[in-house]
């Protein structure tokens, strides 16, 4: 049986530090291009959301402070989390993600519409590599690196987490790069991204999934059975 690492923080300390981190993320204005873009999108809006007030700020992580499962995406969607203020909320990718988490027992409901919809996560925390919506959904290398300390803070706070699921190749490569820079033992050459690949990193398991973007779900690159298999495996691994 694998011995799970012990957290350096009590659950109360984790919750308190996450609240501090949330405030830091929300007020962040370190990347001029992203700040300008998220504000422009929030002002111009999509026609179908013209009567809504957009969030238009950096988006903090969301979930259970006692989570043993971390979920890392790319960045907030322009008319999804950049509108609602909660990760993977209000867009098609989020619809896929939270339905799957609900089926796997990690979410209290399958719908994710806004911050006040009552959704809670159980044993899971959802975050992203970059916290602001980027133009074309493509952050620059500098923007990724500027945002990196926020993800590192979450990795420290959830140091007892057993499983990290990365959604898409960008998050997969970013996490491996961070962990290697932090001294983690990772085989060379760098593991290649593919759906379902597992990488052992100092007592944790990195589990890769295709991103539930429309580009993948509409084309059948990612199917619901494929996605469900990821969360079933994650549930299995966190109890080992």
51-110 residue pLDDT tens: 999 999 999 999 999 999 999 999 999 999 999 999 999 999 999 999 999 999 999 999
Report helix, strand or coil for 166: strand
Q: Say how many Å lie between the first and final Cα of the chain, rounded.
A: 6
Task: Extract the tokens encoding 226.
Answer: 């494929």
What is the reported pLDDT for 156? Answer: 96
**What's the rounded mean pLDDT across residues 31-46?**
98
More confident of the two residues 239 and 82:
82
pLDDT at 125 over 90: yes
Burial class, 168, CB count within 10 angstroms (exposed 0-12 / middle 13-18 / buried 19+): buried
Average pLDDT of span 194-214: 96
What is the rounded average pLDDT of the residues 127-150?
Answer: 97
Is residue 148 very low, low, confident or very high in pLDDT (cuts 50, 70, 90)?
Answer: very high
CA angle in degrees (0–180, nearest 5) for 96-163-3: 155
**Predicted confidence band of residue 34 (pLDDT cuts 50, 70, 90):** very high
Report which secondary-structure segment, H or E, holds 72. strand 69-73
Percent of the chain with pLDDT over 90: 90
The three-class DSSP label of residue 62 is strand
Element at 66 (helix H, strand E): none
Res 7: pLDDT: 55
**Going by C-beta distance under 8 Å and a sequence separation of 6 or more, which residues neighbour residue 134?**
33, 34, 37, 75, 140, 143
As a CATH number, domain 11-238 is 3.40.470.10
Lowest model confidence (mean pLDDT) among 18-22, 73-77, 157-161, 220-224: 157-161
Strand order in the sheet with 124-128: 62-63, 124-128, 69-73, 163-167, 204-209, 198-201
Cβ pair 51, 45 in contact under 8 A: no
Residue 201 structure tokens: 């990193």
pLDDT at 150: 98
Strands 62-63 vs 124-128: parallel, antiparallel or unpaired: antiparallel
Q: What is the mean pLDDT of the chain?
A: 94
Segment 180-198 mean pLDDT: 90
Q: What is the pLDDT of residue 189?
A: 83
- Residue-level pLDDT at 187: 77
What's the whole-model pTM score?
Answer: 0.95
């Amino acid at each position: 049986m694998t011995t799970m690492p012990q957290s350096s923080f009590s659950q109360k300390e984790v919750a308190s530090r996450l609240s501090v981190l949330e405030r830091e993320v929300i007020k962040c204005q370190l990347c001029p291009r992203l700040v300008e873009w998220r504000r422009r999108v929030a002002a111009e809006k999509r026609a179908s959301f013209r009567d809504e007030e957009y969030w238009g700020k950096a988006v903090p992580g969301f979930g259970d402070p006692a989570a043993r499962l971390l979920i890392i995406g790319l960045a907030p969607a322009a008319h999804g989390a950049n509108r609602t203020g909660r990760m993977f909320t209000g867009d098609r990718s989020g619809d896929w993600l939270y339905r799957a988490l609900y089926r796997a027992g990690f979410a209290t409901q399958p719908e994710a519409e806004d911050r006040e919809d009552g959704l809670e996560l159980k044993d899971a925390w959802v975050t992203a590599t970059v916290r602001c919506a980027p133009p074309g959904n493509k952050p620059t290398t500098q923007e990724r690196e500027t945002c990196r300390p926020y993800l590192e803070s979450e990795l420290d706070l959830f140091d007892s987490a057993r499983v990290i699921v990365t959604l898409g190749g960008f998050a997969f490569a970013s996490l491996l790069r961070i962990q290697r820079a932090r001294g983690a033992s990772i085989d060379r050459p760098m593991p290649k991204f593919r759906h379902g690949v597992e990488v052992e990193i100092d007592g944790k398991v990195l589990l890769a999934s295709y991103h539930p973007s429309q580009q993948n779900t509409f084309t059948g690159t990612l199917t619901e059975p494929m996605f469900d298999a990821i969360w079933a495996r994650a549930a299995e691994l966190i109890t080992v």
